[in-house]
Amino acid sequence: MAFSRTEVEKVKKVEKFDPVKRMGMEPPELDPKIPFIGHLIGMLRWQVGYMQMLSCKCPTWPAFTLRIFSARVYVICDPSLIQAAYRNAKTFDFGSFVVESSEKLFNISQQGMKIIRGETAPGYDPNGPLLNGNRGKSFLNEDHRIMMDSLSPGTCLKELSSKVLDGVAGSLNEVNDDGEVFGLYRWMRDTITEASADAIYGPMNPFTGNPELIDDLWHFERDVALLMLQFLPTFIAPKAYQARIAIKKAFASYYANGYDKQASGLIQLHLASCKRWGFSDDDIANFEVSTLFLATTNTVSTSFWQLSYILDDSELHTAIRSELTKVVRRQKSCRTGEERAILDATLLQSHCPLLLSSFHETLRLVGAATSVRSVVEPATLASAATNTSFALQSPAVIQLPSGITHTNPAIWGSDANVFNPARFLPSTKAALDKDTKRKQAQGYFPFGGGKHLCPGRHFATTEILSFVGAIILGFDVSGSRVPERAFQKLGTAVRKPKGDVDISMKRRRGWENVKWSFSVEGRGGEEEVKNLVVGGEELGDE
């Protein structure tokens, strides 16, 4: 979030952080103007941007503590400390956040919540540590493994990517030679949502030919934070509340009719796991709003912003268009005379470095996700790189806001708030000093980190690069601009545009009659996807 000069000046600076003096102590506290509830009011007012405002107040502090009533919230700003927190998944637990959000967002039954909390897992000890059932054999662990296995490089991911790109190609092929005028964000939103639903849930998914249900998904997404409050939802978030009911009803019918038999392997494994652990059909239908929500929300916004940034820079547009010619082949059918343009999605990362760099730069600028963890036992959070350590108490919450590190001039330089498409090129990074390289590698984490590094990152990256790449190479777009960013609500990882952008889009000269398709079977293959640099440090548990 960007703040005006007046707003930033209102934030009074505090003393410089002394790592020696604070060694082994709690992160210093930031006192609110209104005792007990001041920070809560700030979060509700500024939402995602509040932590960035506070960081402006104490730019030298690697971490700080907020007190809300008697609760502690630790906000970690230093990149090396953030990565240390990600590595220690046993002490800094993500499971409790999953449990809390499931209960508040998806209307799960009491029996279903017992399963999610791990209370039906073998060896569960009601007197043991929080969520101890999730530390071994449990539904949450099993479902996480299914997601990781299905969305890691392999056959299942290849099938999902192929199907979602078939849907994208279908939308591109509907654009005619004369040109069409539409809202760019809305068009990309609908294209990605329909294509993702078809790839994940099969041809009989509830969203096929149902634009109202697509709108419902995005009504839910827009006010997800308000639903989390569980306070008069029919009054403060009526569209989101009704959307959740509509989506649940649609999926109840989907499963009742056996349409899941045509769904992806991911859904079939997920469904089998749900039934094995004893979830009711009602709870299973309630879950499904989360799957498509996670598969589309950040992908849509990232695709929109990357395309907008490229279209706004004619030199960048020309350079990326030149790169893309290396990964597209055209062939004409001897029988029908139809010409096809086949984009090899497996070569995008190795043959289109500027496209890939602009993708990461887009995520750096518009991605401001905040990872949340629970401190389940007293612990020390330390960084050898900065010779800093803090004693963290339990119970408490840790927040790891990427919006702070992604635009920090101390990490990215004086142009930290400027779109620089070459910032992530290998040649650019090679010219950096060792300390800056480390800070940037640790301070860029658009997909989270540690054990819960976003399992869908490969799927989303392939979809975004392919969709944006095909538009750049095969179409002429006029009227595009980089719009203002909308206010970023809690629960939103990637900023949205403030209003849509009306554009005119038509086939590029020489590409008028081609039918677009995508290949995920090319020379790039699985090894290239495995080598995708997603930022931060892809580290496991300690």
Question: Annotated binding site for heme: which residue ranges?
Answer: 454
DSSP string, 35-63: TTTHHHHHHHHHTTHHHHHHHHHSTT-SE
Q: E-strand spans in 160-300? A: 180-183
Q: How far apart are CA 82 and CA 391, in angstroms?
A: 14
Question: What residues pair up with 73 in beta bridges, in sequence order?
Answer: 66, 397
Return the DSSP state at 344.
Answer: E
Q: How far apart are CA 171 and CA 300, in angstroms?
A: 14
Exposure string of 16-52, with b = 16+ CB inside 10 Å and e = fewer, is ebeeeebeeebbbebebeeeeebbbebbeebbbbbbb
C-beta pairs of 149-152 under 8 Å, 24+ apart in sequence: 150/264, 150/265, 150/266, 150/269, 150/455, 151/266, 151/455, 151/456, 151/458, 151/459, 152/455, 152/458
Q: How far apart are CA 147 and CA 269, in angstroms?
A: 9
DSSP helix/strand/coil, 244: helix
3-state helix, strand, coil in the chain (%, to 5): 50, 15, 35
Question: Annotated binding site: which residue ranges?
Answer: 454
Return the DSSP state at 497.
Answer: B
DSSP helix/strand/coil, 29: strand
Give the torsion sign (CA, 210, 216, 222, 228).
Answer: negative
**Which residue do the tokens 């799960």 mark?**
108
Pairing of strands 71-76, 396-401: parallel
Backbone angles phi, psi at 520, to 5 degrees: -115, 20
